[in-house]
Chain A
Amino acid sequence: MRESFASAVAGAALASAVLAQSQRPDAPETWGTATGYTTVPAFALQAERPEFSTIVRDMSRARCNENTSPDDEVDARAIAQLPVPDGALLTQLAYWAYDTDPDLDLSYDVYETCQTPGGGLPFVTPLGHASPSFSAGQYDGFIPFSHLTADATNCAYSVRVTFAPAGHECVAGGLEVEKFRVAWVRQVSPPPANPTFGDVPVGHPFFQFVEALAKSGITGGCGNGNYCPDAPLTRGQMAVFLAKALGLQWP
């Protein structure tokens, strides 16, 4: 039996973040380590095998119009990229769809595609799957991820929708996808094994964060291999930190 999106996540840590934000819908966070979102309209879906299956989109939904493979022997599928911030902890992919077909259900698969060291075929990892049984119209759901940190430098993320498995013709109008939303949380990298600065050793309470600034090129320390973590910050130093951190540009 399928639960609603809201009740299914009730009690989870994520639920409070989602609900709290929806109470301030005009104020979602852009930065920081609170929950952020990437939304993808169904218009982003492209046919996996365009020579066999036609995906028709309008501004609010996508559906499979026909499967022209012999005896419908090819799965009718569509794929969309999921842009996510590098290093963010991905927590779930939510989907919204429409299904009035008693015989067929949409199914969703999320993939991570990474470069293979030394070349060769891209390395594809399945991250999650859902095939909710539904036939009463509008529905929504989500695929949870477990401890998944996005590596946007080396990998791409995508969702694949199966409109009709092999042996079935597409159902025009009965199965439609509307949109996706990836929830994520920005993270600070775990600290390295060796410290960069002499006065911020491994055991220092700010070690992880000072190393993050150093690795990112935001600070080079205060000279002589030190960072001077206890020195007061002047407004002038603050300006340098912020301008470098944000890579500020102007015309």
Chain B
Amino acid sequence: MCCLAATALSALTPSRASLAAEPRTYGTSLVSYVRVPGVAFTPERSEYGYLSSGYAWYRWTDGRLGAPIQLPSGARVVSMKMEFYDISAENSLHATLRSCVVSDCIDHPAAGAGPPDCVTPGSLCSGAAFAGGLASETADLTADDITVDNLTHTYLVEVTMSGNGSIGSHRIGSVVVGYILQVSPAPATATFGDVPASHPFFQFVEALAASGVTGGCGGGNYCPDAPLTRGQMAVFLAKALGLQWP
């Protein structure tokens, strides 16, 4: 019985080594990851590709598979990784993170014209090609510096294949997008009289104010040097996280 209990406990408290595979969601220095599994990819047209148990694969060349991806607002996308299987020397897979600009369609209605291409190809992350592998391969794609903006963009991952494939020659295990959370740059004008633009904490206090986490201490001030009580801390944290329970 003791050993069963120990096993259950160890499952709840993973070792540092096993934590390495866990996603890290918070903070501003570590890279966090969103993994898009192969089964999340669907082809533009159903005849272009297949889903299988655990991965997606191509049937014909020049087809595109895509999957929507949800990224945190304000995060900086820093990397893409494609985990795939490729036994063809003639062709290769390309993974690209696409952004579709929402605001273009608000600001520039193209009545009478053809639908504008809201996608900005290649502007988020450069595609990269891999070919000739005999087994599964992993390669990092270097992304441009992109800050996720869910107000004005949608995001999806696209995988294309060039050359002539055969059934099952190219299989997508996952595409992994890495990002780092950021604190917004400081605005031009200060919200609080006692935290002017020159204040060392200006950027962070403004971030809390813009996010609705704090309204200040009254009188148009924030009182940055006032000591914090445990009660005030509770208000800050509960609002910041939008805490909910059943």
Contacts and interface: CB of A to CB of B under 8 A. Distances in A.
Given A137-B115, A246-B27, A27 B239 contact: no
B102 A39 contact: yes
Contacts of B109: 4, 137-140
B152 interface: yes
Place the interface of chain A in its size category: 35 or more
Contacts of B163: none
A245 to B, nearest CB: 5
B24 A249 contact: yes
Nearest to A245: B237
Interface string B202-238: 0000001011110000000000000111111111011
A44 interface: yes
B19 A138 contact: no
Contacts of A179: 100, 102, 105, 118, 154
B241 A245 contact: yes
Contact of A215 (B30, B121, B229, B245): B245
Given A25-B103, A30-B73, A137 B110 contact: yes
Contact of B185 (A27, A29, A186): A27
A136 B235 CA distance: 50
A28 B187 CA distance: 13
Interface string B38-72: 00001011100000000000000000101110101
A36 B73 contact: yes
A208 B238 contact: yes
11 contacts: A33-B239, A39-B150, A57-B42, A58-B64, A59-B98, A188-B244, A216-B245, A218-B237, A222-B230, A232-B230, A250-B19
A209 interface: yes
A22 interface: yes
Nearest to A89: B242
A230 interface: yes
B106 interface: yes
A85 to B, nearest CB: 7
A137 B210 contact: no
Contacts of B148: 28
B100 A178 contact: yes
Contact of A25 (B151, B210, B229): B151
Interface stretch (A124-132, A155-163, A233-241): A233-241
B223 to A, nearest CB: 14
A74 interface: no
Nearest to A184: B242
Given A57-B66, A189-B244, 4 more contacts: A33-B211, A59-B158, A61-B118, A85-B242
Nearest to A65: B45
A245 B212 CA distance: 18
B200 interface: no
A209 B238 contact: yes
Given A44-B68, A231-B230, A32 B208 contact: yes
A43 B68 contact: yes
Given A212-B238, A250-B30, A59 B119 contact: yes
Contacts of A26: 147, 149, 184-185
Contacts of A237: 230, 233
B111 interface: yes
